[in-house]
Structure 1
Amino acid sequence: MIRAAVLAVLAASICTALPAQSQSAQAQPKHYRLTFVLSYPEGKQAPQIFTLDVPVSPEHGGMAQSSTASGLTEEPQTVVQQTLQCMEVRESAKGVAANVSFTMDSVTPAPTGSSEPRHHNLTFQRQVDVALNQPTRITNEMHIRPLKPGDPVPKETAPAPQITLTATEI
């Protein structure tokens, strides 16, 4: 009878210890800070900095997103919407890999002689793999092209930004 009671207590303690051990054996997520710098050729605009903090576990890739909208008080018709999204952020042999997309949409008042406002759209999407703590340019030189083939590119169009990414473990 005592043996049966001891075996029951021992079996119960083993069963309750197993879930605790398996939970502690699971790796805790690591956290990475992804800092994006958008710089413009010829310094015509000040650089913009976006920072995303992303938890990453071995089982699941991390994700983070930032959206901003801005305008000018002296030109209320001017609106700029920017969205930066990082999906499937994972540790890699090199450092950190991610699927990065950046979209910038803007609407400005109609140029002289036109009744239609001017729309600009910049879209960037790329799978990147960068070393930790090293600023890495993730864009090639970007070129502006009209939405409709054959339309001219306006000369007063702002140059496309270049994007640099620095990943750090936090």
Structure 2
Amino acid sequence: MTGVYTSVRSGLRNVALAALSEYTSPQVIFSNSSGTEPSGSYVVVNILNIVQIGHRSTSTLLDLNKNQATFVSYEVQAQYSFIGSESGDMAQSFTQRINNIQSSLNAQTTNKLGVMRKSSIRRSPQLRDTKWVEYHNIDVTFSYTVVTQEVSDEIDVVIIQNQATNYTFTVPPGQVIP
């Protein structure tokens, strides 16, 4: 089974690739990945936090395999940094397309993500040795839901007995009481 962090990380990359589909093979990497810096413009994904929202929700009915589903909702905050000469155009395209084109919405659904909020684009050029490199950042908050299946015992009959009147009631009705 893939862990939540790994699934979120993969999903954030897939969403970025879908939103930037107009670019030919956009490079999307993760922060602190210790690789070499790409030569052209690229995107860096940095997961800022993953926070559980509220409590779990558990199904009351079992599926055909006697599994009970538990749903847990999270908010995932990620920073997308666009770096290089095309970073301004890439950032603007990303922010416009992430929740407005079908391929991006499909990628979110497939990866159990949904855009909740996004910040404005922040331009922050960085000095590298003797030249300035364009940087643009966008923070996006996604919803993310984890569904856990657990085998559970099923209840065949419920017996309610009123001891004062000695009346017994069963659900479903008509069950023989052992």
**Fold-level similarity (TM above 0.5):** no
Normalising by structure 2, we get a TM-score of 0.31
Normalising by structure 1, we get a TM-score of 0.32
